[in-house]
Each structure stands twice: as C-alpha cells, then as structure tokens.
Chains A and B, each alone.
Chain A
Amino acid sequence: MFHRLPRAAAGVALVFALAGCSSSATPAPTTAPTTAAMSGSVVMIPKQINNPYFDVAFKGAQSAATALGGTLTQVGPSAADATQQIPFIQTATTQGAKAIIVSADDANAIAPALKAAMAAGIKVVGYDSSPAVGAYNVFVNQADTAGIGKGLADMACDEAPSCTGEIAVLSAAQTATNQNAWIAAMQDTLKGSKYAGLVWDGVYYGNDDPTISTQQTQAMLAAHPNLKVIVAPTTVGIVAAAQVVTSQNLIGKVFVTGLGTPMGMQAFVKSGVSPEFALWNVTDLGYLAYAVAVDLVTGQIKGNPGDTFTVPSLNGGQPYTIGADSVVVLGPPFVFNTSNIDQYVASFGF
C-alpha cells in the first residue's frame, strides 16, 4: 500500500492511516482464525441495484465467494428506497439463506425485517451504510468516520490557496446518515487553528441526483462568488460539481474535492479541477463483507467487540478487530491525485 505521494498528500495519507490503525491490532501471532470454507446461499442487498459503486462491491464479494465457498446473489430496489429493500430481506429469510449482506437505505426502516432474519438464524452483515444497532451481527464500515471527516477537511485545506478561502459542501440527501456524520466530523476538525483561514459557506443537498447536484452547484457558485473549494462527499455530487466548474470556466479559481470514483474523476484530476480526492477500495469492501459473513456462518467469529479474524488477501494479512457496536473498519481510504489516478483506474476498474 506504499506509493509515492507529494508531501502534502503524504501527510494526509499518514493521518488516514493513523486513523485507520485502530482497526488493525499490532502484529499479533496469528491466533486469529482464518476464514474456513462454507456452503449455502448468501444474498447481497445494496442500497440500489444497477449502481456502479455497489456493482463493484458485488464483484469483490463474488471473488470472495469463489475463494471461500457459498453461492452469492445480488438483488435490490431500483431506487434508494428502504421499503423496497424489505421484501428482498424477507424473501431471503423464507428461502433459507445463510447470510444477508445489506447496505441500508434507512437504518431503522429495515431493522424489523433484519431482526426477524436474525431470529431465524440468518447472519446479517451490514456494509457501506449501517442498519440500526441490534439489527446486524457485524457492520463493515468502509472507513472511520472521524478519519473521513478529517480527510475532507485536510483536502479542502490543501486545495484552498494557503489554506484560506471560502468552502462549501455539496452533500447527498438531507437525511443521509453517512454524509451527515462525515460532515459533522469535518466541521469538528475545522475548529482547529490550522483551518482558521477557511470560511464555511454552508451545506447544499444534491440528493445524489445529477440534475439536482448540478443545479445546487450552480446556485452555490452564484450565491458565493468568492467560493474557493467545493467539498462533495458523494460520488454523484463530486462529478456534477466538477462538471459545473469546468463548464463555467472556473478551473484554477474553484477547486473540487471529496469522495469520488477514480474513473468518474479521472478527467477532472487531469484538468486540474480536482487535484485530489479520496475513496476507499470498494472491491475490498465487498470482499471483506463476504468474508465476515462466512466467518459468522461457520462460527469462526461471533460478532462481538474484541473478536479478531484474518482475511488472507486483505489488510496485508494483518488481523481485523471488531470494535464497539460490532463495527469493523476496512482500512484507510485512498487519496487519488495526478500521480496515481491512471494506475488506479486501471487496477480498480471503477
């Protein structure tokens, strides 16, 4: 995972790595069990089907299924609607699936259905977006919330000249729990003295819809003519914002950063609109979620805080430790910039 980075980004990566360190214990003798094989069906239910982000995670889970056994299928709603996820959870329950891997459109709406599944002996693994506490056995978090918040703040600081200027956030839906948590963490970080030069222009909500994200960015730029950095912690919003900045010929005057996919942002990194942005390894996220499901089904782990386990192809072989609320963190996010964007588009494939 070591790669050459410009000094500033290296600092950011180091911070991320330190933040992610809480999830991987100091190299311990491998008493942590490795994943054993399993048979049976596992059902993966993303927030939204046909969403490239989740399809990449699915591919990761598929390679885990090949390695670890079991049959994996993916089903889900066509819109990010929790009520549409419920029938799929219930069907998996009645069809006797061994495990359900789910990214919740709404933490509470699917909780009763998930609890019913757990009562029927099915293991529930959350990923990407957590179901309510108590409605899952383990939640695989892609990155530490505080770490993401700090990373967003640092990238904004990097892109604003001399860490000074107005910044604004383009988020997803107003009720999106992930984004709201990351933004709160970001605002916490911004209280530090290092960021004193940054002026907060507010949060705009793009609803993860390209049209609305575009309109919100246009309005944001019109309302704040001196805006320097747009922070978009959503893969749909960051692209829309970058596109608006490009079409308004603001390259070099307004910068965009946040969370985006390498392929979506490749052109903008190169054109200078978005010198750096971050994401995690989505393929690994799917792989880890599946591996955790297998471990739960075969009884290798119970899902309690303190449990440790290893997944051979992840984390450099280091064991994962399950933390409070049965959450396990995938690892530090990736920061993309001009020096590594092409390489990661090729290797990540998304």
Chain B
Amino acid sequence: MALSMPANAHAPNRAGLLIGRLARSREATLAGVVIVLAMLVWFEAPNFLSPTNLVSVTSLTAIIVIAAVGESLVIITKNIDLSVESTMGLVAFVVAEALKGQNLPIPAAWALGIGLGLALGMANGVVITVFRVPSIVATLGTLSIYRGLAYLVANGQEISVSDLPAGYTQPASQTFFGVPFFVILAVAVVIVAALILRYTVFGRQVYAVGSNAEAAATIGVRARSTVFLAFAVSGMLAGVAGVLWGIEFGQLYASSASGESLAVIAAVVVGGVSIAGGSGTVVGAAIGALFLGLINNALVVLNLPQEWLQVIYGAVILLAVATDALVQMRAQRAKARSRMR
C-alpha cells in the first residue's frame, strides 16, 4: 500500500513545521483566551484585576500548577495519576503535624514533605511498572489508601494556624516586586520541567513512551523505568504542592485536598496535553490551570447564579478539548495532504 512506503524526504519536514506551528499555537491560543477572558470580566467587575485579587487567586492556582506539571508528565507517558489529591493531603498534614509543637526547622519540614511525596510516587510507580497494574486502577487504589494513611495520622485532630510556627502562612501572601512568592515558585517549576522535557534524554523518552511504547522499546527506551521516574517525579511535585497547601490554608484536616485530583487533571487536559499520551507541554498545563482558576474566580465575581458554576466549568472543559481536537484534525489532514504531494 502506497501510504506505508516512506514518503519523500521533504514532506515530513513541511508537515513537521506545520504541526510545530499549530502545537505552539495551542499554548498561545490558550494564553490569548485567558487574556480576553480577564479583560471581559474586568469590564464588569474592575476589582477582578486588582493586585489583591490577582495575588490571592494566582497563589491558590500556583499550587495546582505545580501538581499539574507532575500530572502532565504522567499523562504524556499515556498513564494517569488519580491519587495526587491524597498525596497532597497526606503530605500537607504530616508536615504540619511535624511542625506542630516541635521545633522542626522549616527547611527540614520541606525535605520531609518532598521526600514523602517522592516515596508515595515511587510506590505508585512500583505497582504500575513492576506489578503491571494499569495506572488508572493502581492510582484508584492508592487514592483511597493514601487518604486512609492521612486519617490514621490525623486520628481525629485538625491542625490550626495557631499550632504552626508564627508567620508560617505568610509566604502565601508575600510578593517580590508584586509577584506572589508562590507564583515565582510555580513558574520556576514549570521552566525546569519544560527544559527537562525538551532538552534531556529523559524528556524525549517520556514523549516516546507515550506515543508508541513498542517503537520506543525497539530503539532501546525502557518504558518501565521512564514511567517509574514519571510517577516518582509526579509524587514529588504533589508533595511540594502539599507543603504549599499547608502554608496557604493553615487549617488542615485529614480530608484536606479532597477532590483536587479532578481539578489537576482537568487543568492538564484543558492545557492541551492529550490523554492519549505523547503530546502536550507543561507550559500548556500551567496555562490550563491558570485558566480554570480564573474562571472559578470570575464566575463568582460576576455574580452569576451559583447553580451555573458547574455547568459553565464543564462546558469550558469540553470547548477547550474540542478545539484541541479540531486543531489536531486539521493538522492530520494537512499532514496527509502534504504526504500525497
């Protein structure tokens, strides 16, 4: 069959350029939508773009961004991590519990949180790569198991702001030249992750495993170690998000961060990362998180009836993904056309 023969050497390049341009425009389009949305809301409620509101909203969103970077990694490898909310909640509580009363220095608390997140992510990785349990099933199980650990640690207690060291929650509102500290942290994480994905071997392996694990295996990419690493990193970043969660909220419960897994996955998906694996960028996931966070805020600021919140949220996700598919379809048609020439 003609189509299976290697096409002439130039055609893939032209198609490649076209795809590249379109892919890049995905993030650009989303960023553009965010800006347009912000302007529209600003007309109705000027206070929406006030520094205070932006700082508040983006601080909270920054936590989701960091978790979303980890989740993107996992989803690009054609897996999924449903347990991220339980990792965040468990880490948040354990770190706060460790700080309570004792004089654990804050850097040590950070190390504890990140280490715990890493361990939980590696546990997911083991179940998935060593025991070959499909990731959706494995993380469905660890979603409950890690949350159970949080209940065990909490033992009916909650942690209040007064239990924590003085000023512990201040970083949530601190800014450097007007940019919230959390946002700077999130941007740093995104940049590092983007660089790793683009310029390192590991990054290429992540995309390779996600697009075609068998083909990747034939060229020596070990899918299992790549996936394991992806889950380990995802757990570590969820741990970071968990520590930040504690700083943001101060008040922690055994059930902290319940429901955030879907928020993280929605952000990643809206950001253009395909659930089928092999494509998408962490920058896109970050913008997706920002987009959804702003929508949440905008809907309430605009005084839309609260009942419509979820409807609009769902519609937004559909639209974002639908435009994604449209772009992909056009790209594929263009690729097929260019190959025919």
Contact = CB atoms under 8 A, between A and B. Distances in A.
**Direct A–B contact present (CB less than 8 angstroms):** yes
Interface string A84-124: 00000000000000000000000000000000000000000
Contacts of B250: 239, 243, 267
Contact of B47 (A79, A216, A225): A225
Contacts of B257: 211
B60 A215 contact: yes
Contacts of B55: 248
B251 A240 contact: yes
A237 to B, nearest CB: 11
Given A239-B251, A247-B173, A223 B161 contact: no
A188 interface: no
Contacts of A248: 52, 55-56, 173
Among B56, B57, B163, B173, the one with the most A-chain Cβ atoms within 10 Å of its Cβ is B56
A219 interface: yes
Interface in B233-249: 248-249
A325 interface: no
Contact of A204 (B50, B157, B256, B300): B300
A176 interface: no
B183 to A, nearest CB: 14
A94 B156 CA distance: 27
Main SS class of interface, A: helix
A243 B249 contact: yes
Contact of B259 (A209, A220, A225, A261): A209
B300 A267 contact: no
A205 interface: yes
Interface in A244-284: 244, 246-250, 261, 263-268
The listed residue with most A CB atoms (<10 A of its CB), out of B59, B259, B299, B301, is B301
B297 interface: yes
Interface residues of B, number: 43
Interface in B56-74: 56-57, 59-60
A247 B248 CA distance: 9
A345 B161 CA distance: 13
A222 B48 contact: yes
Nearest to A59: B156
Between B154, B160, B248, B256, the greatest number of chain A beta carbons within 10 A of the residue's beta carbon is seen for B160
A342 B151 CA distance: 28
Contact of A52 (B48, B156, B162): B156
B297 A218 contact: yes
Interface in A47-98: 50-52, 55, 78-79
A243 B254 CA distance: 19
B306 A205 contact: yes
Contact of B260 (A174, A211, A218, A266): A211
Given A214-B60, A246-B169, A223 B253 contact: no
B52 A221 contact: yes
A214 B61 CA distance: 12
A263 B259 contact: no
A197 interface: no
A323 interface: no
Contacts of B60: 211, 214-215, 218
B257 to A, nearest CB: 8
B56 A267 contact: no
B256 A55 contact: no
Interface in B161-190: 161-163, 169, 172-173
A335 to B, nearest CB: 19
B173 A52 contact: no
Contact of A222 (B53, B154, B158): B53
A223 B47 contact: yes
Top 4 closest pairs, chain A to chain B, by CB = A219-B300, A247-B173, A55-B156, A222-B53
7 contacts: A205-B306, A210-B249, A222-B53, A247-B56, A248-B52, A249-B173, A266-B161
